[in-house]
Homo-oligomer: A and B are copies of this chain.
Amino acid sequence: MLSQTVEYALRAVVHLAQHAPKPQKTAEIAATTQVPPAYLSKVLQGLRAKDIVKLQRGVGGGVTLAAAPADLTILDVVNAVDPIKRITTCPLDLKSHGVRLCTLHRRMDNAIMEMERAFRSTTLEELLKDPDQSVPLCDG
């Protein structure tokens, strides 16, 4: 449904939001989020390319969010690593369906739209503040 890479990316940014604005080392993030360290490095590079995180080399360097947790939605992160692609034109290239999708593809796109909306409606900050649930990535 959602790719493994999306799951990893979300864990990472949540960890960063929890510790903002202190830079976190990739290895630290990998350990607490249970993501393969070498692969996390690639995922983070993808996030940097879309200006979700900043990466700093050298002693005392590490990873930080490029924006405040209140300004980053789950959708931003998802779209950075594995963009949600809406159905905007007929997948069969039927001329008459071009813009006005058939009932099948309209329904499919509606479902995708619902998911998109759910992701857009939550910021990282909200994830940290919800008092009603357990804290992401933290046991106990």
Q: How far is the CB of A132 from chain B (nearest CB, A)?
A: 8
One complex includes copies of this chain to the number of 2
Chain B residues whose C-beta falls within 8 Å of the C-beta of A103 in the assembled complex: 126-128, 130, 133-136
CB <8 Å contact, B1 and A104: no
CB <8 Å contact, B127 and A1: no
- Listed by A's residue number, 30 A-B pairs whose Cβ atoms lie within 8 Å are A1-B84, A2-B112, A10-B104, A10-B108, A11-B104, A34-B92, A92-B137, A94-B138, A96-B134, A96-B139, A97-B134, A100-B133, A100-B134, A102-B133, A102-B134, A102-B136, A102-B137, A102-B138, A103-B126, A103-B134, A104-B127, A104-B137, A105-B136, A107-B119, A107-B122, A107-B127, A111-B114, A111-B115, A114-B114, A115-B115
